[in-house]
Structure 1
């Protein structure tokens, strides 16, 4: 039992450091606190928690304002707020989403690339980059970006769905259907999903 708790403590700490690198402070704080609940004397988690709390006190207000503006659909105001915050993978991902919502594909892609330059394992940034490529009409690049996202997060439903869409447009219905079969197996009672899949397959025999 003690050995299992030690492993879990380390797992929480590792997740905390991953979120910390991405600038996802609330998630990082939660993971470090879970590690410390198992072992209050675990110094690495205590140090990580202190760093995250300091970051939140010093620089989280601009991020919070940016998220509020984003939620209200005020994307230019969100960009201004995010741009004042300390750069991180999560921050660049948020900026990319703002530009994506504004239809500014090149700027969106630039920020998703910046997020990935800071953290190559950021599955969500790979996914968002795939969305941009699809909007730009580069379905092969989109398929590749979605594939990278799935390597990092194999169960992400939206990525399977979107990759299926672009593969179908690329003339690869068999590969597309494999992604949708995965989704259908996980959601067998989702009639709307099945209707969408059937419609797309009929439109691209």
Structure 2
């Protein structure tokens, strides 16, 4: 899927799709490959295929915040506001959860009384 991303950055969408599909032949449960494939389809205006790819990504990884966001945007482009809001809200929930986890980890030394080393 790294080659697919490289082709995508170069604007070679068909090649990118080819490599993302090859990654899925090797491992059909690779959520990032489904997401990346969806991004290509989205960029090409092939929204039905984009939605299917994003849905597969979130089915495989229920915490894939970027895939939920992309799914919401695809539904927005399709003129489906209820589906759009459902998936964008899920993306926002996951983003808040991720932020709370990160803040919890960064505050852990103080919360446990563990001394924090200074860089100076």
Report what 2:115 is aligned to: none
- How many residues in Structure 1 have an aligned counterpart in Structure 2? 97
Flag the structure with more relative contact order, 1 or 2, with Cα contacts below 8 A and sequence separation at least 6: 2
Q: Secondary structure at the match of 2:79?
A: coil
Residue 149 in structure 1 maps to residue 57 in structure 2 = yes
Q: 2:56 and 2:91 mapped to 1: Cα distance?
A: 18
Report the alpha carbon displacement of residue 184 of structure 1 after superposing the two structures with TM: 2.6
Displacement, 1:182?
1.4
RMSD: 1.4
Aligned-pair CA distance for 1:180: 1.4
**2:4·2:19 contact (CA, 8 Å) conserved in 1?**
yes
Structure 1 residue 107: deviation in Å?
Answer: 0.2
Unpaired segments of 5 or more residues in structure 2? 100-120
2:23 equivalent in structure 1: 115
Q: Which runs of 5+ in 1 are unaligned?
A: 1-92, 191-205
Match of 1:133 in 2: 41
In the alignment, the residues of structure 1 paired with residue 91 and residue 9 of structure 2 have an alpha-carbon distance, to the nearest angstrom, of 26
Aligned pairs for 1:39-58 (under 5 A) are none
Task: Give the whole-Å Cα distance in 2 for the aligned partners of 1:105 and 1:145.
Answer: 15
Which one of 153, 173, 197 corresponds to residue 81 of structure 2?
173
If the length of structure 1 is used for normalisation, what is the TM-score? 0.46
Indicate whether 1:159 and 2:71 are aligned: no
Cα offset, 1:124, TM superposition: 0.4
In structure 2, what is the equivalent of residue 22 of structure 1? Answer: none
